[in-house]
């Protein structure tokens, strides 16, 4: 089964129902719900998502939404190793992107799905947007 790390922006597209991106995010997470792919997220994504959703929803609502969402994904522990690698890799201009990348490396992900493809230009793991991934995947099987 394909192991995919989903970047925080895709999680927010789904949970905040971002109009322009919601449908594709929903399709990605539906594939996980039907056991066609295995989705992973960084523990940092949980913290960032709760923080961002709490600014638009009541805090208890954001936690409830994330609790229900959590059954679709496996969380990658944020370890000292991942933090050290991200801190010392200046190819990632954004520390959070480094965390995402090294989290994916830690569990052997086959792919990273993000809308910020340019932020992962030096990745050794293939990077796709949700739209690109869905175009290359048979979602009916």
- Residue 141 in domain: no
Distance, CA of 111 to CA of 109 (rounded, Å): 6
- Residue 106 in domain: yes
Distance, CA of 71 to CA of 51 (rounded, Å): 19
pLDDT tens, position by position, 14-56: 999 999 999 999 999 999 999 999 999 999 999 999 888 888 7
Q: CATH number for the domain including 65? A: 3.40.50.1010
Distance, CA of 82 to CA of 46 (rounded, Å): 16
Range(s) of the domain holding residue 111: 3-135
pTM of the model: 0.92
Position 54 scores a pLDDT of: 83
Strand partners, 75: 41
Q: Do 69 and 15 contact (CB within 8 A), yes or no?
A: yes
Domain count, the chain: 1
Phi, psi of 113 (to 5 degrees): -105, 125
Phi, psi of 7 (to 5 degrees): -70, 155
Q: Do 4 and 110 contact (CB within 8 A), yes or no?
A: yes
Q: Is the pLDDT of residue 59 over 80?
A: no
As a whole number of angstroms, the longest Cα–Cα distance in the chain is: 42
């Amino acid at each position: 089964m394909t192991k995919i790390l989903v970047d925080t922006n895709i999680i927010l597209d789904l949970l905040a129902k971002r109009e322009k991106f919601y449908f594709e995010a929903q399709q990605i997470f539906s594939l996980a719900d039907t056991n066609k792919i295995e989705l992973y997220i960084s523990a940092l994504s949980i913290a960032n998502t709760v923080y961002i959703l709490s600014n638009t929803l009541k805090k208890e609502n954001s936690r409830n939404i994330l609790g229900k969402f959590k059954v679709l994904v496996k969380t990658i522990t944020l370890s000292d190793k991942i933090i050290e690698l991200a801190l010392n890799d200046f190819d990632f201009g954004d520390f959070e992107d480094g965390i995402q990348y090294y989290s994916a490396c830690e569990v052997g992900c086959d792919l990273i799905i993000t809308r910020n493809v340019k932020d992962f230009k030096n990745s050794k793991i293939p990077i796709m947007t949700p739209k690109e991934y869905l175009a290359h995947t048979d979602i009916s099987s």
